[in-house]
């Protein structure tokens, strides 16, 4: 479990009306979420975006990404199956998004696994203003320089305290860090939110990390406070996982339930069951 970030720090639960209001805003505004993402999970990302209440577009041709992102409420960049051409498309879309004030959510899938992958993430972070860096503990630990391990695209965890790792990464990168795990850690470098929704089955299904980035983008698209929006998004996704697990017989019935339960999740249910601890 994550420890306190400062001696004598106090913690309290976020008012459930906040994530409930953000979910209602996503459903009301139905923002367009532009994805340049990986080929393994692209369909799941599109459908989870719809289930959250937003609208997806999956476009990565360098010839059109700058035009496409101009209509979006947020841009998701996911390097899960990256190529040199895709990185160039991400840079073009990201620069256009920055020019227009459209938030960029970067999912550094497998950062630390290979030099090419790590260099691509660092290049994107250097060239673009990233609103939210959403990764697992291993990826965030690698990028923070505090120690993390990645095997393929799976997290091997961090060597130190997860909260301190997320804080160090947020401060080094100047962005909101959303670090998923048994307890999700969201921080802007000063405030810390611990999201305690979710179930272990979410870690045993391919694509849930990518889907979490899509849900995060939907919430960030309708909010001014990107840290609060990121925490609310993970609570909503985790709550859907809790509901899906109750009726699942295995990984694929759980997968189906995850989409169904997020689509059916009401602001009232999220408001009652979101478990977001503020520090």
C-alpha R_g of the chain: 17
What is the distance between the alpha carbons of residues 55 and 48, in angstroms, rounded to a whole number? Answer: 10
Any known ligand binding at 58?
yes
Q: Are β-strands 154-158 and 148-151 bridged in parallel, bridged antiparallel, or unpaired? A: antiparallel
Cβ contacts of residue 225 below 8 Å, gap of 6+? Answer: none
The dihedrals phi and psi of 199, each to the nearest 5 degrees, come to -140, 155
Any known ligand binding at 180?
yes
Closest C-alpha to 107, from 219, 189, 217: 217
Give yes or no for a contact between 85 and 62, defined as CB atoms under 8 angstroms apart: yes
Any known ligand binding at 165?
no
What is the distance between the alpha carbons of residues 39 and 59, in angstroms, rounded to a whole number? Answer: 12
Cβ contacts of residue 157 below 8 Å, gap of 6+? Answer: 137, 138, 141, 148, 149
Q: Are β-strands 104-107 and 74-78 bridged in parallel, bridged antiparallel, or unpaired? A: parallel
What is the distance between the alpha carbons of residues 133 and 178, in angstroms, rounded to a whole number? Answer: 6
Q: Are β-strands 132-136 and 148-151 bridged in parallel, bridged antiparallel, or unpaired? A: unpaired
Per the annotation, where are the binding residues for ATP?
A: 134, 180
Q: Which amino acids are annotated as binding site, given as ranges?
A: 58, 134, 180, 207
Residues within the annotated binding site for substrate?
A: 58, 207
């Amino acid at each position: 479990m994550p420890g306190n970030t400062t001696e004598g720090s106090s913690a309290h639960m976020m008012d459930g009306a906040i994530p409930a209001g953000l979910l209602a805003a996503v459903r009301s505004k139905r923002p367009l979420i532009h994805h340049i993402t990986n080929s393994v999970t692209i369909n799941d990302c599109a459908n989870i975006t719809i289930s959250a209440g937003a609208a997806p577009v999956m476009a990565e041709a360098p010839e059109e990404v700058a035009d496409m992102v101009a209509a979006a409420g947020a841009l998701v960049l996911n390097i899960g199956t990256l190529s040199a051409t895709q990185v160039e498309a991400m840079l073009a879309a990201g620069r256009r998004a920055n020019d227009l004030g459209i938030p960029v959510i970067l999912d550094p899938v497998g950062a630390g696994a290979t030099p090419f992958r790590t260099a691509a993430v660092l290049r994107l972070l250097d060239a673009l203003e990233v609103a939210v860096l959403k990764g697992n503990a291993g990826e965030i630990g690698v990028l923070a320089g505090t120690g993390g391990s990645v095997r393929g695209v799976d997290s091997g965890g961090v060597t130190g305290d997860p909260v301190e790792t997320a804080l160090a990464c947020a401060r080094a990168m100047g962005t909101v860090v959303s670090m998923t795990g048994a307890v999700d850690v969201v921080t802007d470098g000063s405030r810390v939110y611990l999201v305690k929704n979710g179930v272990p089955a979410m870690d045993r299904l391919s694509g849930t990390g990518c889907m979490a980035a899509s849900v995060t983008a939907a919430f960030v698209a309708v909010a001014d406070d990107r840290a609060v929006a990121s925490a609310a998004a993970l609570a909503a996704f985790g709550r859907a996982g809790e509901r899906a697990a109750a009726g699942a017989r295995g990984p694929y019935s759980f997968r189906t339930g995850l989409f169904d339960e997020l689509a059916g999740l009401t602001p009232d249910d999220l408001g009652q069951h979101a478990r977001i601890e503020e520090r």
